Amino acid sequence: MKRRTFVAAAASLPAVNILSGTARAQSKEIRMIESGGASGESIEKGYIEPLFKKTGIKVVRESPSSLGKLRALVESGQTTTTLFELGSGIVQQAKKLGLIEKIDWAAVDPAPMFPEAKAEYGFGYQYFSTIMAWRKGVKEPKTFAEFFDSKAFPGKRCLPDFPHYCLPFALQATGVPIDKLFPLDVDLAFKKLNEVKKDVAVWWKAGAQPPQLMKDNEVQYSICWSGRVVGDPAFGLNFAGGKADLSFIAIVKGSSPENKAAAHKLFHEMSLPENQAKAAEVISYTGPSPNLDPLLPKDKLWQFPTSKQNKAVQYFENAEWWADNGEAVNKKWEAFKLNL
Amino acid sequence: MRSTGFSFVAPLLVLMVVAFNLPILYMLGLAFWEKGRGFTLEHYEGLVEAPVYLRVLGNTMRIPVIATLANVIIGYPLAHWMRGLQNRARLVAIALVVLPFWVSILVRTYAWIVVLGNGGLVNRALQWLGLTDAPVSFLYNELGVTIGMANVLLPFLVLPLFAAMIRIDDRLMQAAASLGASPRTIFWKIYFPLTLPALAAGTLLVFILCLGFYVTPAILGGGRVPMISNLLDTLINQIPRWEQASAISTVLLIVTLAIFAAYRRLDRKASL
């Protein structure tokens, strides 16, 4: 019943707008908490500016976004922040904790989108890859088996300090093909990591660390986010075996209807391929439109997570598996880190 | 008289209680009280069942011990040397010790990367001199964290120690010498015991400050030196399991308060 009134309200929304004018139906300014850096600027250029031009709605950005912050926002009862950026696994967790709201897709009225991006609780707005990269001049690995083989490829490594990144890559090094990674053989992955941990100089928490450490020659090989290294002549990289993932923007629980209406307008802008092409000029990540590829510069297609040649060689993050097993794996991860 | 004094501090007191003490109490209570379920000790049980948290706490005790010892080994001779300087040189020496205080801890911590990194000043000098073939790993391990901590906290040890040392009357040593004591005996029987309370108080102060370090292990530890603040960051910001974080914080707070009580006793002795 709730759903029906919901859909009915959504369907009648444009009519209400015409009748009562837009002044009361939506806010003129909403706030968003996102990841920051170049990614935040791409949201500004790609989506916030076109929205402002069309509707006069301002979106104020803040960063960084962490699940703890979202929990604090909701539990303290504040509703000034409407939009929140979350990773694919985190969306599941936030949903379980009751921190985000369903998206009213009828009100968004999006242009065609890849189905996984059109989720019940989040707008999948940005594909990004986690890949192997290295400092130019060292021996170049082609697979993760080679990447983790420090005898044949000498040099220090820099790996993410997050199990959901490291474990699947370590499994690939034991010979598991990318389509058979899930359900993860956690013990086998940790066994491999225990073999290679002596070669890992730094476990990174911030995405800016690996490129800087490679430039400083503190480490020679990294697993890092593709957008941080593509196009920089100091680095070599390979998408093979990489992880393609989707970042989501969700609506904070308890947001007012006016703010939600404005958020839906922003979501609509985010679904348009021409806006996604603008965002991709700022950072080499891609939006969820199937019609985006022809709008991207031909000579840069190799840099994007979703272009054909890259999508084929990567695996896609399995957020459901992590939602079920993440907590147990996290404890094992902390124990593993203590024995470094 | 007493009441007028109180009315002056009352606003500050209210601010402290409302903005600081109450939230801390709420935070500590999180571990005991769950919405809709009432009193629980589950999160403390979790602490005992998952030894990983207690081991991080152990790590958090061990590294500060090393950093504090390093501070004593460097700081005591430094303070003693400063005591012997002429007035002007002494001022310069104090200025040099205090100077790092004015530089942001973030800047100081990053500066160590420039100095101690694989391509840093020290490693390049060592290789140029032919002492080593490959770069020595100073950073991204416990050594790096210890160096960083010792550097940040040195003034906290040197300044109180120096203050205690200049109060020692030279005539005490002269009297001992005139009675035939050797310099070594004078140092161990007279000088050192007089500095001991200040040394102990300064040591505990440095140790307590070490316990809460976040930036230094985060940057110079390379994610390989787990300390309690970094674990709390994960539990609060990422996972987010505030209840567990609250239980760990409570344990840390009790340990710190116990050490602080010891510090107060020693500090009172030192200022007598």
Q: Residues A324, A255: one domain? A: no
Residues of A in contact with B236 (CB under 8 A): 68
Cβ-Cβ contacts under 8 Å, A331 against chain B: 50, 52
* Least CB–CB distance from B222: residue in A66, A203, A334: A203
How near does any CA of chain A get to the CA of B262, in Å? 30
Non-local CB neighbours of B187 within 8 Å, separated by 6+ positions: none
Interface predicted TM-score (ipTM)? 0.78
Sorted by sequence, the CB contacts under 8 Å of residue B96 that are 6+ apart come out as: none
Using the predicted structure, report yes or no on whether residue A10 has a pLDDT greater than 80: no
| Cα distance between residue A132 and residue A158, in whole Å | 10
Look at chain A and report how many structural domains it folds into. 2
pLDDT at position B3 is: 59
pTM, two decimals, is 0.83
Is residue A233 located within the same domain as residue A96?
A: no
Q: Kindly state the average pLDDT of the residues A223-229.
A: 93
Same domain assignment for residues A229 and A333: yes
The answer to whether the CB of B31 falls within 8 A of the CB of B24 is no
Q: For residue A14, what pLDDT is reported?
A: 45
B168-217 confidence digits (pLDDT tens): 999 999 999 999 999 999 999 999 999 998 999 899 989 999 988 998 99
Indicate whether A33 and A179 sit together in one domain: no
Proportion of chain B above pLDDT 70, given as a percent:
97
What tokens does A65 get? 């976004």
Could you count the other beta carbons within 10 Å of the beta carbon of residue A21? 9
Centroid of chain to Cα A128: 6
User: Where do the domains of chain B lie, and which CATH numbers do they carry?
Assistant: 42-271 (1.10.3720.10)
Nearest to B239 among A201, A330, A338 (CB): A330
Distance of alpha carbon B13 from the chain centroid: 27
Average pLDDT over residues A71-100: 91
What's the rounded mean pLDDT across residues B25-43?
82
Q: Give CA separation, A107 vs A10, A94, A254, A257, B92, in Å.
A: 6, 22, 18, 12, 70
In a shared domain, residues A42 and A82? yes
Higher per-residue pLDDT: A7 or A270: A270
A319 and A178 belong to one structural domain: yes
A188 with A276, same domain: the answer is no
Does A12 score more than 70 pLDDT?
no
| DSSP assignment of A86-117 | EEHHHHHHHHHTT-EE---HHHH-PPP--GGG
pLDDT computed for residue B272 by the predictor: 60
Nearest to A214 by CA among A233, A193, A198: A233
Confidence of residue B264 (pLDDT cuts 50, 70, 90): confident
**The domain that contains A268 carries what CATH number?**
3.40.190.10
Distance between CA atoms of residues B56 and B244, nearest Å: 14
Q: In the structure, what pLDDT confidence band is assigned to residue A70 with cuts at 50, 70 and 90?
A: very high
Show which residues on chain B lie within 8 Å of chain A, measured between beta carbons: 50, 52-53, 55-56, 59, 113, 117-119, 137, 139-140, 218, 222-224, 226, 231, 234, 236-240, 242
- Give residue B31's pLDDT: 86
Are A184 and A261 contained in the same domain?
no
pLDDT value of residue A18: 43
Q: Which two tokens stand for residue A51?
A: 């929205």
Residues of B in contact with A165 (CB under 8 A): none
pLDDT beyond 60 at B122: yes
Strands (E), A56-180: 58-62, 81-87, 100-101, 123-135, 157-160
**Mean pLDDT, chain B, integer:** 88
Mean pLDDT value across residues B224-249:
87
| pLDDT value at residue A89 | 86
Q: What is the pLDDT of residues A131-157, one digit of tens each?
A: 999 999 999 999 999 999 999 999 999
Residue A8 has pLDDT above 60, yes or no: no
- Is the domain of A330 the same as that of A224? yes
Give the phi and the psi of residue B196 in degrees, each rounded to 5. -60, -45
| Chain A residues whose beta carbon lies within 8 Å of the beta carbon of residue B228 | none
The pLDDT of residue A25: 61
pLDDT digits (tens, 9 = 90+) for A269-325: 999 999 999 999 999 999 999 999 899 998 888 899 988 889 889 999 898 898 889
Domain that includes residue A35, residue range: 2-127+246-301
- How far is Cα B139 from Cα B119, in angstroms, rounded to an integer? 11
Is the model's pLDDT at A22 over the cut of 60? no
Q: Identify the band that residue B237 occupies on the pLDDT scale cut at 50, 70 and 90.
A: confident
Same domain, A187 and A287: no
pLDDT in the model for residue B270: 65
Contacts with B222 from chain A: Cβ below 8 Å: 201-203
Residue whose C-alpha is closest to residue A312's, from A214, A257, A244: A244
Beta-carbon count within 10 A of B261 CB: 11
The percent of residues in chain A predicted with pLDDT above 90, rounded, is 71
pLDDT-derived band at A20 (thresholds 50, 70, 90) equals very low
Q: What is the mean pLDDT of residues A16-23?
A: 43
Residue B59 with chain A: CB contacts under 8 Å:
338
Cross-strand partners of A249: A85, A123
Q: What pLDDT, on a 0 to 100 scale, did the predictor assign at position A19?
A: 42
Phi-psi region of A155 (alpha: psi -120 to 50; beta: other; left: phi over 0): left
What percent of chain B has a predicted confidence (pLDDT) above 90?
43
By Cβ distance, the residue of B52, B113, B118 closest to A334 is: B52
Q: Which residue of A has its CA nearest to B231?
A: A334
State whether A71 and A196 are in the same domain.
no
pLDDT of residue A138: 95
pLDDT digit string, tens, across residues B43-60 = 888 788 777 888 888 888
Same domain for A201 and A146: yes
Q: Region A97-103: what's the mean pLDDT?
A: 94
User: What pLDDT does B58 receive?
Assistant: 86
Facing A338 at nearest CB: one of B137, B226, B238: B226
Distance from CA of A340 to the nearest CA of B (A): 6
Which pair of tokens denotes residue A251? 């609506």
